[in-house]
Chain A
Amino acid sequence: MKYDVQSFTVKPGARVKLTFRNPDELPHNIIICTPGSTGGKDKGEELIKAVLELGARGQELGWELKDHPRILHSSGMIQPGQETVLWFKAPQKEGNYPYVCTYPGHFTLMNGLMTVSRKSTPGVVRGKARKDPFYTSPGMRRRPQVRRIFMPEAGPAAIAVAVNDHLHYCWDAGQCRLRYIWKGDFVDGWDVWRGNGNGLASIEGEILHREQASPLNLGTEPGPPRFLGYSLKEGLPTFRWKQGGTEVEERIQPSKSGKALERVFVVKGSEVTAKPKSSEQMAVTVTKSTTLPGNKKGFRINITMTPMP
């Protein structure tokens, strides 16, 4: 029992359309409160206490104190399976405006925050509340997305890639290899961006698969890899690096259904075999191995990586 939108941000004076659906078996409402004397820190509890004081009268009034000074906008009590649309103009005054469900006992789980801010990007945050004022900006939410940032479980030259809305991976430009794949949301970089870089981005999901070493066995003396960069096609990177005289390319893209990953290696200049390992949560198999035409030895290896059901 909670609001799926934990917080949202609007500009002062903006016209806001709020759709409130109640998929639950109990009635619920949403009441947007003024910041009050605590600047919104009480999460609207002042109103909840006033509603509780109504006692038996509460039910008649739909658990709502229509003239309470903290109430800005109210959906009214919405019955199970019903929905309503609230149109309102955001306050001119910047600040934190809590919203609550006043049905008795719901408040502790059912509360959220409307932020009115000139500087922050308007938008909606599902799940946990965010401190990053740019978390909802289009540049941060775009999929796919390539983002170089300090990442956990990787070297300092890490690259995070959002493949689509569900699947993401971390690639290490220091070691020139995939480190891990996760599902869920992408990253929250606030710990890095709020300051001078002293922190790591956090993964907003669950790691499905870690790769302990490159799945490739090159036929020649490999030497340390030298990262050459990446090119973007349809927003996704194709990484390039060199090991000795061998050039390698790697691209990871979504399968047609978007539920699995297709990984393609192109190797030029030496023999190559691939022995990727599956893990508990991800099946990793070589689906195709092709010899490329041309004078130089060249191979393409296709690997499919499918999350376990």
Chain B
Amino acid sequence: MIRSLSIFALATCLSHADVWTDAFSIEKVPVPPGIDPQIGGIDTTPGGKVALCFHRGEILIYSPAEGSWSSFADGLHEPLGILAESESSFLVMQRPELTRVADTDGDGKADLYETVFDDFGMTGNYHEFAFGLARDKEGFIYLALGTASNGAGIREEIRGPWSNIGLDRKYMLNGPEWRKYKGRAGRMYSRVPYRGWVLKVAPDGSSWEPFASGFRSPEGLGFDREGRLYVTDNQGDWLGTSKIHHAQKGHFHGHPASLVWKEGWNREPLKIPVDELEKMRTPAMGLVPQGELSNSPTEPRMIPKGIFGPLEKQMLVGEMNNPTLVRFLPDSVSGISQGAAIPFLQTRALGVGNHRLTFTEDGSLWVAKTHLSWAGGEGLLRVRLKENARSFLAVQDVKLLADGFSLTFTGPVQKESLNGLKITRHTYKYHANYGSPKVDRKEESFKMNLSADGLHCILSLPELKEGYLYTLDLPGVVSQDGNPLLGDKVYYTLHRKK
């Protein structure tokens, strides 16, 4: 008993040191000079190189084996996603189009910029970002289009058809008058197609379809091992807090501006009663609490098999404003997607601006940063699990039970170290205002039972409430061999009880 207490005391001390950098190395990879080091997209080529696209339109290739950079292409317009098709061909999501950038003559430099898909509108509003990219098992490409912000109006010349639903076009123009009218435009607006939608495009551009609607600023897309398309969205109007969606074909995910482009739709989105929208929307798979975990979630990326030990094949999500990534554990209940978000690499050494993620076979996670003048960062990080940290402790899985939660750990935990566990729940408002306070917050009483092998912790609550985010606080938890818990908060989004 005395022995185990002393280990516990030591572990408590350790938790005040940086538990993450004890297990993971985080190193900065210098970007070549003369390049604005804001990275819009990153992907791994089949040959194990890292392809990156930058704020001012360059595509650079980094060879981890040689530690060398080469320049592949340039001149693209704010690219925010890249997918490697081969060593010499890349799909890039730039503001105006999805483009295949390829080297056809074998000199290592792109000579073909082929437009794969540009059947969407642009008003010239700065917030109409084009985000991507994700590829499904059949090879189809998914991209997402941001809505416009009433921080600015539109330009005289636009691309694509204009929707007459909403404020008259003549009042929507940029200029000194805009300030008078902006309040009537909607905080975020979608007046050209398909702003606020995820689109599915054949890789040769021969066909495409609007896939899902209801997004505000859908920054990142990625598939998990079950084939679920994760799409992240940012706190703002209609989003009480930031979200990780499971985007599904034909579904509406909550931000009404995009409804303008739904087939047969002719109503002003700002005038639809919230109750009606509530019935239409598919709630987010994961709510990530503003100010605590994530203010601006970015790219979801699956940890490949064989990397990061017990966390292989789980989903990571980037985060712009907090020095952390998010690990998401989906838990489908009666066909409803929900699950748990857990901080990952929550350390100052990671820093903020974590925009795009990729992995290479040598076990490295590459974190590409940007800011676009908002909170964020610059440059490229390489994260590796340290040789001596193979047996780190983390929450392996979280499942909802009829009366509570089951936590599975990657290794046996010390029972006494669970004594600080605390559970609270709260929800958010669904409304046109920007963000939401935490609503109906309550600390829950619960019973705890740790399995004999120390791996499973069952938490039973007197009552579970649908539509709430449950925060499981696990301070000071340590494994039986003294390792601190990496990621000591679990945020479970509960829509459907068991």
- Report A-chain residues with C-beta under 8 Å of the C-beta of B123: 156
CB distance from B421 to the nearest CB of A (A): 42
Establish whether residues B111 and A231, one from each chain, have CB atoms under 8 Å apart when the complex forms. yes
Contact residues on B (Cβ < 8 Å of other chain), bracket:
35 or more
Measured CA separation A237–B76 after assembly (Å): 13
CB distance from A78 to the nearest CB of B (A): 33
Residue from A150, A196, A227, A229 in contact with B372 in the complex, judged by beta carbons closer than 8 Å: A196
Of B2-10, B16-24, B155-163, which stretch is located at the interface?
A: B155-163
- Report B-chain residues with C-beta under 8 Å of the C-beta of A156: 95-96, 122-124, 155, 157-159
- Report B-chain residues with C-beta under 8 Å of the C-beta of A293: none
Establish whether residues B56 and A193, one from each chain, have CB atoms under 8 Å apart when the complex forms. yes
- Closest A residue, CB atoms, query B54: A139
Question: A275 on the interface (CB 8 Å rule)?
Answer: no
If over half of B's interface residues share one DSSP class (helix, strand or loop), that class is named, otherwise mixed; here it is: loop
Q: How many residues of A contact B (CB 8 A)?
A: 34
Residue from A157, A193, A198, A199 in contact with B55 in the complex, judged by beta carbons closer than 8 Å: A193
CB distance from A196 to the nearest CB of B (A): 4
Q: A147-B75, A148-B57, A156-B123 are in contact. Are A229 and B34 (CB under 8 A)?
A: no
Q: A173-B96, A193-B55, A231-B113 are in contact. Are A148 and B34 (CB under 8 A)?
A: no
CB distance from B375 to the nearest CB of A (A): 12
CB distance from B204 to the nearest CB of A (A): 12
Establish whether residues B34 and A157, one from each chain, have CB atoms under 8 Å apart when the complex forms. no
Establish whether residues B118 and A227, one from each chain, have CB atoms under 8 Å apart when the complex forms. yes
Q: A134-B36, A139-B35 are in contact. Are A229 and B115 (CB under 8 A)?
A: yes
- Closest B residue, CB atoms, query A231: B112
- Closest A residue, CB atoms, query B118: A227
Question: A230 on the interface (CB 8 Å rule)?
Answer: yes
Q: A137-B34, A148-B75, A198-B126 are in contact. Are A227 and B373 (CB under 8 A)?
A: no
Contact with A along B37-51 (1 / 0, CB 8 A): 000000000000000
Establish whether residues A193 and B157, one from each chain, have CB atoms under 8 Å apart when the complex forms. no
Contact with B along A136-157 (1 / 0, CB 8 A): 0111000001111110001111
Establish whether residues A157 and B159, one from each chain, have CB atoms under 8 Å apart when the complex forms. yes
Residue from A150, A196, A229 in contact with B374 in the complex, judged by beta carbons closer than 8 Å: A196
Establish whether residues A229 and B373, one from each chain, have CB atoms under 8 Å apart when the complex forms. no
Question: B241 on the interface (CB 8 Å rule)?
Answer: no
- Closest B residue, CB atoms, query A179: B157
Question: B74 on the interface (CB 8 Å rule)?
Answer: yes
Q: A134-B56, A147-B75, A229-B112 are in contact. Are A155 and B159 (CB under 8 A)?
A: yes
Question: A35 on the interface (CB 8 Å rule)?
Answer: no
Question: A174 on the interface (CB 8 Å rule)?
Answer: yes
Measured CA separation A189–B76 after assembly (Å): 13
Establish whether residues B372 and A157, one from each chain, have CB atoms under 8 Å apart when the complex forms. no
Measured CA separation A204–B218 after assembly (Å): 35
CB distance from B185 to the nearest CB of A (A): 15
Question: B58 on the interface (CB 8 Å rule)?
Answer: yes
Establish whether residues A197 and B96, one from each chain, have CB atoms under 8 Å apart when the complex forms. no
List residues of A (225-266) whose CB comes within 8 Å of B's CBs.
227-233, 237
CB distance from B85 to the nearest CB of A (A): 15
Residues of A within 8 A of B (CB): 121, 134, 137-139, 145-150, 154-157, 159, 173-174, 189, 193-199, 227-233, 237
Residues of B within 8 A of A (CB): 33-36, 55-58, 74-78, 94-97, 99-100, 104, 110-115, 118, 122-124, 126-127, 129, 151-152, 155, 157-159, 372-374
